[in-house]
């Protein structure tokens, strides 16, 4: 529901948009107090009727999301995995199908950011790690998920990119990796459309999540909120609701697209 300034209430009534579907969400825990993009998507998927596999590199983070979903009567399980490793990705997919019998949705949410650094300054190992976490993980999860989806008639994959892929701002390794996510999304959308698999991408703007909160002053947070045309702060629930749409049958004719959820920031000229 929207208030006077467009505030979204996360606990809107479920419409069963994902009823009886099975989803995997990577990065389903939050790094610190609050709700990050992966946790929000997982909770909303469950509220809309999906059974959800909650994947995180730190099991306790996934278990926090699990407790939140189970408290609302949802069905889910937490699983620890390093999604930069093929064996872990295979295990996550196989365990999900073993428990629930099928796989319909893959939400690739894992990502890291080195901060402001150029190609001159970046450490080679840090560059490789960024590409592995932000891009390779999505390829590996899709590699093992797609055959399972195809076996039951298709499915939906949602990859999380970033506004930084479209408007570079000094975060060169991150920007490069998130640009690759967009290219990967489009390529997979073409490759797997004949199998009934839709692949789309969300490019969040500067939303407030636990990942950014640790380095955010109240003044900086207010400044970020005001830079978009809407002039309000985005949060993880905004990204989660976009994921619900792209995962649902409502988006049955949508594939290979980049959905910017940014308060309109992409309408403005970049500010340096």
The token duo for 52 is 């959800």
Cα separation values, 142 from 19, 88, 170, Å: 22, 13, 29
Non-local CB neighbours of 270 within 8 Å, separated by 6+ positions:
167, 168, 169
Instruction: Give the residue from 29, 3, 41, 23 showing the smallest Cα distance to 235.
Output: 41
Known catalytic residue at 174: yes
The token duo for 223 is 């400044």
Task: Choose, from 77, 174, 237, 241, the residue flagged as catalytic.
Answer: 174
Catalytic positions, written as ranges: 174
């Amino acid at each position: 529901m929207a208030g006077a300034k467009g505030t979204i209430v996360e606990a809107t009534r479920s419409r069963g948009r994902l009823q009886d579907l099975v989803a995997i969400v990577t990065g389903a825990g939050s790094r610190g107090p609050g709700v990050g993009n992966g946790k929000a998507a997982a909770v909303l998927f469950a509220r809309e009727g999906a059974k959800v596999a909650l994947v995180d590199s730190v099991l306790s983070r996934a278990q926090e999301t699990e407790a939140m979903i189970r408290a609302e009567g949802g069905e889910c399980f937490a699983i620890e995995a390093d999604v930069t490793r093929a064996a872990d990705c295979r295990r996550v997919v196989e365990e999900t199908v073993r428990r629930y019998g099928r796989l319909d949705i893959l939400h690739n949410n894992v990502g890291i950011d080195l901060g402001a650094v150029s190609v001159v300054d970046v450490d080679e190992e840090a560059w490789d790690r960024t590409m592995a976490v932000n891009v390779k993980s999505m390829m590996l999860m899709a590699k093992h998920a797609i055959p399972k989806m195809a076996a039951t008639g298709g499915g939906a994959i949602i990859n999380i990119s970033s506004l930084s892929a479209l408007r570079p701002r000094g975060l060169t390794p991150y920007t490069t990796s998130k640009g690759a996510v967009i290219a990967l999304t489009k390529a997979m959308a073409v490759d797997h459309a004949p199998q009934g698999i839709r692949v789309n991408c969300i490019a969040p703007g500067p939303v407030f999540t636990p990942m950014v909160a640790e380095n955010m002053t109240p003044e900086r947070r207010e400044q970020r909120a005001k830079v978009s045309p809407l002039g309000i702060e985005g949060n993880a629930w905004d990204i989660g609701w976009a994921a619900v749409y792209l995962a649902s049958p409502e988006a049955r004719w949508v594939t290979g697209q980049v959905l910017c959820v940014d308060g309109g920031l992409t309408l403005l000229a970049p500010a340096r």
